Structure formats: C-alpha cells, structure tokens
Amino acid sequence: MKIGQFLLGLLIGFVVTLIGGCLYVELVTSFSFFKDMSFLIKSDLGGKVIAIGSLLNIAVVYLLLNKSYYDVVKGVLIALILLVVISQII
C-alpha cells in the first residue's frame, strides 16, 4: 500500500464530508454552517450533519474504484470509519 495515496484518500474523505455537510446545512436548513456549528453540536445535530455530509463519499468511492485507485479508496473508507466514530462521540 502506498502511504501517500492512502493519506490523499483520508484527506479527500474528510474534505468531501465537510463540503457535503456544508451544502446540506446551507441549502436545506435555515442555519449557517460556520456561524451556527457550535449550536448544531450542542443540540445533537452535529453527528447527523456529519452523517448526511458523508453521503457524497459514495460517489467519490465509485469514481475512484472505476479508475482503479484502490489505495486512495482505502483512505476514503478509513476516513468514513473515523467519521462514524467522531459522529458517535459528538
């Protein structure tokens, strides 16, 4: 396994989840993502935003598997597992 590609996958997983969560909060709810994030965490909505934001990773994994970037996909999947643990803690 190539460590550089694995770390790139981790970064892609976290960034895509951040983008997905931001899009969800901005487009669907009446909150602002960066301004109201502390309120979302205090009201037990932080984990749900992370879970919904991570749905975009499905498309990323699909595209990377079709291009045979297996080490990057491993990083994205580990990032998803870490995000599940983080969302359960929040």
Whole-number pLDDT of residue 34 = 73
Q: Which residue has the higher pLDDT, 7 or 40?
A: 7
Listed in sequence order, the residues at least 6 apart from 14 whose beta carbon sits closer than 8 Å to its beta carbon are 79, 83
Could you report the per-residue pLDDT of 41-60, keeping only the tens digit for each?
778 777 888 888 889 999 99
Query: In this structure, what are the phi and psi dihedrals at residue 30, rounded to the nearest 5 degrees?
Result: -95, 10
Instruction: Name the pLDDT band for 40 (thresholds 50, 70, 90).
Output: confident
Give 88 or 60, the one with higher predicted confidence.
60
Question: Could you tell me if 76 and 64 are in contact, meaning their C-beta atoms sit under 8 angstroms apart?
Answer: yes
Please say if the pLDDT value at position 76 is more than 90: yes
Sequence-separated (6 or more) residues with CB below 8 Å from residue 77? 9, 13, 61
pLDDT of residue 82: 92
